[in-house]
A and B are shown apart, each in its own frame.
Chain A
Amino acid sequence: MEKLKAMALYTDFRKELIYIEKELENAVQSDSPLIQQASIHLLRAGGKRIRPIFVFLSSKFGDYSMETTAKVAVSLELVHMASLVHDDVIDDSNMRRGRKTVKAKWDNRVAMYTGDFIFSRALTSIGEIEMTSVHQLLADTMLEICKGEIIQFDYQRRTDQSFRDYLRRIKRKTALLLSSSCELGALISNADDEVVRRLRNFGYYAGMAFQIVDDILDLTSSDKQLGKPAGSDLLNGHLTLPVLYIRNEPSFQPYLAKAFAGTLSEKERGDMLRYIRESGAIEKAHEVSDLYLEKATAEIRLLPDSDAKKAFEQVAEFLAKRTF
């Protein structure tokens, strides 16, 4: 049902979405049957295509060209996909979006090469755009995302993190790429500087809200809805916002210790999730996500009226309020 809602939101941009899907498939064509199979496996796993959508919507605030915009949109989605394949190796994840990960279906090395292949295709696609500012922004964004993952590794299984640490982490993990998606879309269509700035900010705030909701859903959804075990973030040693609120509660600490040590039984996992859901931490995390959503919509509100502006407002609302 929710997925249908998402598709409905995208209805006005159906033509662009179909084009993007086709271009994504073209981009991962390979002489290696195995790489092609692994890449198509990833593409077919779906995904919300938020990054391409943000690029398209942002480019509508300037001189829009579908072909040029698609090159950037495809590139950003491929960068995202490449990072997911490598993340699954790092996290030793066997399932993503209800499907076997590349590393589980083949092995770690195939996942590494597939990720590097997809990353190279992202550069081939965006390489067609001969604008230094575009490449600098994407390169800086990619490095920051990677830096974020390295820092996340450093914080793994550590309970002495501050809220600021968490916010910095999700900024690099998610908000930056969404912010850059908006900025790049605006840049390639030569939108006004003020519009570029507002769209960049919008992407950032929407990205923060999106990631907080994602972290909440990891704790509130079922295994089936998530396509992986609920509570995976904790099992992988990552503290997320709801858990930050309750990490020092004596009755919660044994769960946390066991989750980080990898010794949590199935029953204890269920008990831990129930504890979190009943603790009030989910509601507090939602309040923070709502604050970011308000900031995002405030940026959009000051942009000139258009279909793209309306769609942005709807997409932002949907991303922050989604239940899957």
Chain B
Amino acid sequence: MNKHELNSIVEKYISDLQYALRESILKREIGHFPVDSIKAFFLLLPIVNEKIKEDKLRKITLSVGAIHAALDIHDRIESAQATSAEQQLTVLAGDHFSGIHYRILAEIGEFGFIRGLSQTIAHINEQKTSLHHERRTTGPILLERLKVIESGCTATYYKTYGFDSYLDLAETVLTFVRLDRMANSTEQQAFAIDKTIIQQAMDLLLPKLNLELEQMSSLDPLLQQVIHELVNPLKSLS
């Protein structure tokens, strides 16, 4: 596999996900919603690495992508004032995406995964509420909460379908990427966290990240390269 083929796989997944989530009024009013390509990459990682061509797994990854989209878009709701048309439809967009995730799993009868994923979704919302509401947090607590928020659904997917060996890598990279966004992005962030706490969390995670990057030998070299290319610029910024 070359990089072009890998990009095509990820792009096809993103396009399939956007197609699954399409809704004409939402599209007209709030436009195309962004799919987190890094989360998408990690959802596809085991399938790509192990060259699995199973339609059921493809549907399951779409379902996880749908719930990622649902949970992410609800972070855009303003705490105090959500009366604009765009905000009102953002609430409904998240609910719609959430319904799509369930319908995909219902159609293929993945009852165990419905149960497992629902418990993870509950846990993610608990962590988000705490992060949103607590006045003060610490680096370790922030790290723990973001790990659940960023990689909880992917982790449940890995554990359910026997991809546990990818778990630590995905959790670490996804959490680090989120911390980097919180520290460096100019876009408005979902949670108001002090920059020193974010830096503290990044410092705490960095040794684990380095370790995970050293232990990627079971991955296809191209996948290793992509992960290095993703993470190295962030490491240098941190």
Residues on A lying within 8 angstroms of B by beta carbon are 30-32, 34-35, 83, 86, 89-90, 92, 106-110, 112-114, 116-117, 119-124, 127-130, 132, 135-136, 138-140, 142-143, 146-147, 149-151, 153-154
Contact = CB atoms under 8 A, between A and B. Distances in A.
B94 interface: yes
Contact of B126 (A106, A117, A123, A130): A117
10 contacts: A31-B123, A112-B77, A117-B129, A119-B98, A120-B118, A120-B121, A123-B117, A123-B121, A127-B118, A138-B102
Contact of A108 (B82, B109, B118, B133): B82
A107 B128 CA distance: 13
Contacts of A35: 125-126, 129
Contact of A34 (B85, B99, B100, B130): B130
A135 B132 contact: no
A30 B106 contact: no
A132 B110 CA distance: 9
Given A127-B118, A135-B114, A108 B126 contact: no
B229 interface: no
A143 B129 contact: no
Contacts of A123: 102, 114-115, 117-118, 121
Contacts of B103: 136, 139-140, 143
Given A90-B92, A109-B77, A128 B115 contact: yes
A119 B77 CA distance: 18
Contacts of B96: 143, 146-147, 150
B82 to A, nearest CB: 5
B26 interface: yes
Interface string B67-96: 000110010011111110100110110111
A117 B92 contact: no
Interface of B: 23, 25-26, 70-71, 74, 77-83, 85, 88-89, 91-92, 94-96, 98-100, 102-103, 105-107, 109, 111-112, 114-115, 117-119, 121-123, 125-130, 132-133
Query: Closest 8 A-B residue pairs measured CB to CB?
Result: A135-B106, A127-B115, A123-B118, A120-B121, A32-B126, A139-B103, A117-B125, A143-B99
Contacts, number: 144
Contacts of A135: 102, 105-106, 109, 111, 114
B107 A136 contact: yes
Q: Which of A89, A127, A147 has the most CB of B within 10 A?
A: A127
Contacts of A86: 91-92, 95
A136 to B, nearest CB: 5
Given A120-B125, A138-B102, A139-B106, 5 more contacts: A32-B126, A90-B88, A116-B74, A136-B103, A143-B99
Contact of A109 (B79, B99, B100, B122): B79
B191 to A, nearest CB: 9
Contacts of A114: 125, 129
Q: Which of B119, B127, B129 has the most CB of A within 10 A?
A: B129
A121 to B, nearest CB: 6
A140 B178 CA distance: 33
B91 A116 contact: no
Given A116-B71, A123-B118, A142-B102, A108 B95 contact: no
Given A112-B77, A150-B96, A153-B92, A121 B129 contact: no
Nearest to A133: B106
A102 to B, nearest CB: 11
Contacts of B71: 116
Given A116-B74, A138-B106, A146 B92 contact: yes
Contact of B125 (A92, A116, A140): A116
A276 to B, nearest CB: 25
Contacts of B26: 150
A93 to B, nearest CB: 11
B59 to A, nearest CB: 13
A127 B26 CA distance: 29
A34 B91 contact: no
A114 B121 CA distance: 11
A108 B125 contact: no
